[in-house]
Homo-oligomer: A and B are copies of this chain.
Amino acid sequence: MKADINDAMCPSRGVLEHVTSRWGVLVLVALRERSYRFSELRRHIGGVSEKMLAQTLQTLERDGFVHRDAKPVIPPRVDYSLTELGEEAAEQVEALGRWTEKRTQTVLANRDRYDEARS
């Protein structure tokens, strides 16, 4: 649990960091289609550790992007979905994500040219 001076000077940086984090992006995009249970979401995303998924979900819940619905049953069942604010956030990152994917090939080519030029 941290809160350094940078967050104090520029709180929006922290918000941006949460929604654009490696797993944050994937969680928001996944939950945009439908709600997911924890393990289900973990399998859907792929390559994410329990720890990081739990941490990401907690952060997003704390910020008010994700709603956590823990049903008191055995075995436990917890459903995650987007809040209205989260829906908005997901739209934004998905827009950026679509642009990024559209331009990725160009960027990759740029990198090759750059590396070529100084080898």
Contacts and interface: CB of A to CB of B under 8 A. Distances in A.
A92 to B, nearest CB: 5
Interface string A59-101: 0011110000000000000000000010011001101110111
B64 A106 contact: yes
A99 to B, nearest CB: 5
A22 B13 contact: yes
Interface residues of A, number: 37
Contacts of A104: 11-12, 15
Nearest to A93: B96
Interface of A: 6, 9, 11-13, 15-17, 19-20, 22, 25, 47, 61-64, 85, 88-89, 92-93, 95-97, 99-101, 103-104, 106-108, 110-111, 114-115
Given A62-B111, A85-B107, A89-B99, 19 more contacts: A6-B47, A9-B47, A11-B104, A12-B97, A13-B22, A16-B97, A16-B100, A20-B20, A62-B110, A62-B114, A63-B107, A63-B110, A64-B106, A64-B114, A85-B110, A89-B103, A92-B95, A92-B96, A92-B99
